Amino acid sequence: MLDIKNLHVKLEDEEKQILKGVDLKVGAGEVHAIMGPNGSGKSTLSYVLSGRDGYEVTDGSAHLDDQDLLDLEPEERAAAGLFLAFQYPVEIPGVGNMTFLRTAVNAQRKARGEEELSAADFLKIVRERAKSLKINADMLKRPVNVGFSGGEKKRNEILQMAMLEPKMCILDETDSGLDVDAMKLVSEGVNALRDEGRSFLVITHYQRLLDHIKPDVVHIMANGRIVKSGGPELALEVEHNGYADILAEVG
């Protein structure tokens, strides 16, 4: 599914190297978590994968199945099946949530050479999926994320994910600032979307999120590299001892 090899990234305008050889393989249907101290490059990794401006890949590669992600424009990456949930979802005043979702879904279908969904078909699907994620119909009519609570924004993001049916979902600290109930809703949403053809990369500071979203593999990122990988017990170790022991162990 996702295959990242020796990825080196620096800021476009500065010499500062941020990613210094990231190696990561996520298989189909797997859920991987990335933890790590602040500033270790976790967000940079997700931005570079999604194609955000301002970064320069100086070495290495990133493939989604057989597609070279680094060769694609951001919208082509989305059409290839990549989805990135942001730490701070954007508010779009004046654009209804339903309109936004329909535009996004149809743009993606177009990029994949598929026919647009009719208004009626779209409505049916969005209502079904919203219901299964416990999103009320009212939220579908409001402008995108405007005045939404933290939990509602996150649920809305999960709905976007459910509508776009990505193969590879990256959630960057999507749990930041959430209370326990909202965090549970997000995990339930993710778990509902788990599928043998869909993989997740969950970037988080909190072991407790991983109690709900049970990852197959946990990675620790530090100073621009993945320095240790293991099972869910690695997240518990971080919770109890912090990163110092692991960082000392790997030098």
Which of the choices ligand ADP, Mg ion, none does residue 54 contact, using the CB cut-off of 5 to 8 A by kind?
ligand ADP
Which of the choices Mg ion, ligand ADP, none does residue 36 contact, using the CB cut-off of 5 to 8 A by kind?
ligand ADP
Which of the choices ligand ADP, Mg ion, none does residue 10 contact, using the CB cut-off of 5 to 8 A by kind?
none
Structure-block tokens of residue 65: 């199945």
Q: Burial level of 49, CB count in 10 A (0-12/13-18/19+)? A: buried
Structure-block tokens of residue 198: 């869909």
Residues that bind ligand ADP in the complex, under the rule CB under 6 A:
11, 18, 36, 38-44, 54
Residues that bind Mg ion in the complex, under the rule CB under 5 A:
38, 42-43
* Rounded Cα gap, residues 196 and 4, in angstroms: 20
Which of the choices Mg ion, ligand ADP, none does residue 33 contact, using the CB cut-off of 5 to 8 A by kind?
none
* Rounded Cα gap, residues 162 and 198, in angstroms: 11
Partnered with residue 219 across adjacent β-strands are: 34, 229
Nearer to ligand ADP, 44 or 97 (CB): 44
Shortest distance, CB of residue 86 to ligand ADP, whole angstroms? 12
Nearer to ligand ADP, 16 or 240 (CB): 16
Nearer to ligand ADP, 18 or 163 (CB): 18
Shortest distance, CB of residue 66 to Mg ion, whole angstroms? 29
Which of the choices Mg ion, ligand ADP, none does residue 44 contact, using the CB cut-off of 5 to 8 A by kind?
ligand ADP
Single-letter residue type at 13: D
Nearer to ligand ADP, 55 or 122 (CB): 55
> How long is the chain?
251
Shortest distance, CB of residue 145 to ligand ADP, whole angstroms? 22
CA quadruple 201, 59, 229, 209: dihedral sign: negative
Nearer to Mg ion, 102 or 225 (CB): 225
Shortest distance, CB of residue 38 to Mg ion, whole angstroms? 5
Torsion-angle region of 81 (φ positive above 0: left; ψ -120 to 50: alpha; else: beta) = left
Shortest distance, CB of residue 79 to ligand ADP, whole angstroms? 25
The contacts of residue 224 (CB under 8 Å, 6+ apart) are 17, 18, 19, 20, 21, 22, 40, 41
Which of the choices Mg ion, ligand ADP, none does residue 40 contact, using the CB cut-off of 5 to 8 A by kind?
ligand ADP
Single-letter residue type at 42: K
Partnered with residue 62 across adjacent β-strands are: 4
Neighbours of 70 (CB within 10 A): 15
Nearer to ligand ADP, 69 or 133 (CB): 69
Shortest distance, CB of residue 205 to Mg ion, whole angstroms? 8
